Amino acid sequence: MINSEVPSYFPITLRIDGTRIVIIGGGRIAARKIRLLLRKNVQIEVYAQTFNKELQTYEKEKLIKFCSPLLNENDFIQNAKDATLIFITTDDHDYNTHISLWAKKLNIPVCTVDNAELSTFITPSIIDRDPVQIAISTGGSAPVLGRRIRQKIEPLLGQVIGPLASFIGKHRNWAKEILSTHQERQRLWERFIDGYGTSLISQQKEKQAFDFLKNIAKKPFLNKGEVWLVGAGPGDPDLLTIKALHHLQNADVILYDNLLSPKILDYIRRDALLFFVGKQKNHHTLKQEEINDSLIKYARQGKRVLRLKGGDPFIFGRGGEEAEALMHAGIPFKIIPGISASNGCAAYAGIPLTHRECAQACLFLTGHTKKTDQLNLPWENMIFKDQTLVIYMGLSSLPLLCKTLIDKGLEQTWPAAAIEKGTFHDQQVIIGNLKTLPDLVMQKKIGSPVLIIIGQVIHHRVT
Residues forming the active site: 257, 279
Q: What is the CA radius of gyration of the chain?
A: 30
User: What letter represents residue 214's amino acid?
Assistant: K
Residue 263 near residue 296 (C-beta atoms within 8 A): no
SS3 243: helix
Residue 120 near residue 110 (C-beta atoms within 8 A): yes
Beta-carbon neighbour count of residue 69 at 10 Å? 15
Q: Quickly list DSSP for 54-114.
A: HHHHHHHTTSSEEE----SHHHHHHHHTT-SEEEE--S-HHHHHHHHHHHHHTT--EEETT
Q: How far is CA 354 from CA 195, 414, 427, 452, in A?
A: 40, 16, 22, 15
Q: Which residues pair with 129 in a beta bridge?
A: 132
Q: What are phi and psi of 155, to 5 degrees?
A: -65, -20
DSSP 16: -
Q: How far is CA 239 from CA 178, 335, 336, 397, 453, in A?
A: 40, 17, 13, 29, 21
Residue 315 near residue 321 (C-beta atoms within 8 A): no
SS3 166: helix
Q: How do beta strands 132-136 and 85-88 pair?
A: unpaired
Looking at the chain, the number of H-run helices and the number of E-run strands are: 17, 19
Q: How do beta strands 279-280 and 361-366 pair?
A: unpaired
User: Which long-range contacts (C-beta less than 8 Å, at least 24 apart) are formed by 208-217?
Assistant: 209/167, 210/171, 213/171, 213/188, 216/188, 216/191, 216/192, 217/175, 217/178, 217/179, 217/188
C-alpha span between 145 and 133 (Å, rounded): 18
